[in-house]
Amino acid sequence: MLYEVKPDGVAWVTLNRPDALNSFTGDLLAELAAAFHQARQNEEVRVVVITGAGRAFCAGQDLRANPDAINDLKTWLKTTYRPMLMALQDLAKPTVAMVNGVAAGAGFSLALACDFRVASAKARFVPAFGKIALVPDSGMSINLPRLIGYGRALELLGLSRDLTGEEAFAWGLVNRVCPPDELVDKTTELAGQLAQVAPLAFSHTKDLLQRAPLLTLNEALALEEAAQGRVGSSADFREGLAAFEEKRPPRFSGK
């Protein structure tokens, strides 16, 4: 795995097993979790972009590298995938999946776990699980219907249907789709825009939206009020007001 923080505050996390289509191993999952923890603790990191080296985003679990995983899938998921996915969830910073090729199985799940997805027109989203008589895992069962609704999610998973990048965009699964030679530029553009947003406001907005489907209106209002109270006392809010009055772009610090 490669990890690089650019001067613009964007951390690029690259799955770097191109010969194996960047499929997951126990070691790679641990490296990803560590990278997400590192990005969370680094105040200079404003956005995290995740992609794959070569022609694939991630082909899911590498069963050849970890054959014992098949013998106890429950324990394997709990001890390897869950820590990585929770570290990604706990980032509280914008995350972008740059899907450059196939995203299959748990690799598809990783893309879904990000806040935004930018896909190449040649990308392919492959549920994979049903084809080998498994259920979706790595958060796919919650993140997929959140994005495209129950009916389409069940169609995709129940029929093990693949989606192209263009179809994924039409279904609302990805935020941007573009020709392969424009993918890096389009992703960099989005990441750059996200790096300029107010960090505290974004993290609270993200938290509110993730909780919303399980809340009553009264509960949602209470959470909004609490979050607004916190960000309303921040330096970023004062900067936002000053920038508005002075008719200039704001310079948010995350404080």
Note the pLDDT tens digit of each residue in 124-167.
Answer: 999 999 988 899 999 999 999 999 999 999 999 999 999 999 99
Model-level pTM? 0.91
Residue of 3, 62, 7 lying closest to 37 (CA atoms): 3
pLDDT at 48 over 80: yes
CATH topology of domain 199-246: Lyase 2-enoyl-coa Hydratase; Chain  A, domain 2 (1.10.12)
Average of per-residue pLDDT across 52-78? 91
**Residue 242 structure tokens:** 């000053």
pLDDT-derived band at 245, boundaries 50, 70, 90: confident
> What is the pLDDT, as a whole number, of residue 181?
97
Instruction: Quote the Cα angle for 33-39-43, to 5°.
Output: 155
User: Residue holding tokens 């969370």?
Assistant: 40
CA distance 71 to 53: 29
**Residue 173 structure tokens:** 């699964």
pLDDT at 95 over 80: yes
> What is the pLDDT, as a whole number, of residue 53?
98
Average of per-residue pLDDT across 28-50? 98
Across the strands, what pairs with 15? 52
CA distance 199 to 43: 10
The domain limits of the chain are 2-194, 199-246
Percent pLDDT > 90 in the chain is 75
Q: Taking the CB of residue 144, how many other CB atoms lie within 10 A of it?
A: 23
- Tell me the CA end-to-end span of the chain in Å, nearest whole number: 31
**Residue 254 structure tokens:** 């995350």
Least confident range of 52-61, 65-74, 87-96: 65-74
Q: What are phi and psi of 219, to 5 degrees?
A: -65, -40
> What is the pLDDT, as a whole number, of residue 215?
82
pLDDT at 77 over 90: yes
Q: What is the DSSP letter of 122?
A: T
Average of per-residue pLDDT across 101-120? 98
pLDDT-derived band at 69, boundaries 50, 70, 90: confident
Residue type, 72: D
Q: Taking the CB of residue 244, how many other CB atoms lie within 10 A of it?
A: 10
pLDDT at 224 over 80: no
Architecture of domain 2-194: Alpha-Beta Complex (3.90)
pLDDT-derived band at 226, boundaries 50, 70, 90: confident
> What is the pLDDT, as a whole number, of residue 26?
96
Mean pLDDT score across all residues of the chain: 93
